[in-house]
Amino acid sequence: MVAGANDVVAALTRATDDASRRRVARRFAALPSHEVDGLLWSEEREHRLTALLILVEQYRAGGQPQAIVEQLLDAVRAERVDDEELVAVVAEPILGDAHATGSRNVFFQLAKSDVVWVRLLSILATGVFVKQGDVTTTLELAERLGRERHPAMRHAVGVLLRAVGRRAPAELVAFLERVGRRLPRDVVERAVENLAPAEAERLLALR
C-alpha cells in the first residue's frame, strides 16, 4: 500500500522536535509528488516543513531533480513556503545544488519576483557558492536585495554577508566600502561580525 499525506500527518503527531521530523521525512521519502503537494498546501506549518524535508530527501536520492525544483518553485511562488526558516530548509540543498554548476541566471531571475519568499530563496541558495569560496553571486544579489524593508530579507542578506566575511574578508570589506552606506545598519552590523573589531567599526562609521 502506497503511503499518503494522511500517513505523514499521523506520524507527525509523535514527532516532537526537528530530529524526529527529519526521521519522518526519511521514512516517507518515496511519497508521491501529489501527496507532497497535499502537505505543502496544508495550513499547518509543521506539515509544510515536513513536505520540504521530504523534497530534500527525494532530491538527494536523485529522483527527477528538475521536477522537484519546479515543484519547490511552484510552492514558493504560491507562498506556501512563507518564512525564512522554511525557505532555508530547501534553498541550498535543492535550488543551490541544482545550479551549482553552469549558468547562474536563475538566481537573478528569481530575485526579480514580486514574491518576497522567491527573492529570499534566490539569495539563500547562493550559500553553496560561498562555501566553495566563490562570493561573487552572493555579493551581486546582496547589493540588489539588501535594501529591502522585509525583516526576513534583511536578516538573510546580513547572514550571507557574514558568511562572506568568514570566507573572503577582503571581498566583503571592498563590497561594504562601495555600497555599505546604502544598506540598512542592521544588515551591515550582521555582515561585519566576523571581521576584526577595528575594521568592523570603521565600516560601520562609513554609513
* 176 close to 203: Cβ distance less than 8 angstroms: yes
pLDDT digits (tens, 9 = 90+) for 136-186: 999 999 999 999 999 999 999 999 999 999 999 999 999 999 999 999 999
Query: CA 178 to CA 174: how far, in whole Å?
Result: 6
Cell numbers at residue 123, please? 539569495
Return the pLDDT at 2: 58
Residue 132 pLDDT greater than 90, yes or no: yes
pLDDT in tens, 92-129: 999 999 999 989 999 999 999 999 999 999 999 999 99
Cell 542578506, residue located: 157
Residue 19 burial (10 A CB sphere; 0-12, 13-18, 19+): exposed
Residue 95 to residues 29, 108, 118, 131, 148: CA-CA distances in angstroms? 18, 13, 11, 15, 22
The architecture of the domain spanning 80-207 is Alpha Horseshoe (1.25)
Q: Return the half-sphere exposure (C-beta side, CA atoms, 13 A cut-off) of residue 163.
A: 22
Confidence (pTM):
0.93
Domain layout of the chain by residue ranges: 1-63, 80-207
Question: Looking at this protein, which amino acid is placed at residue 179?
Answer: V
Q: How much is the mean pLDDT over the chain?
A: 95
Helical residues (DSSP H) of the chain, grouped into ranges:
5-12, 18-27, 33-40, 45-60, 65-77, 84-90, 97-98, 105-110, 116-125, 127-131, 136-145, 151-167, 169-179, 185-191, 197-205
Per-position b or e across 101-139, b if 16+ CB within 10 A of its CB:
eeebebbeebbebeebbbbbbbbbbbbbbbeeeebebbb
**Rounded-to-integer distance, Cα 28 and Cα 147, Å:** 40
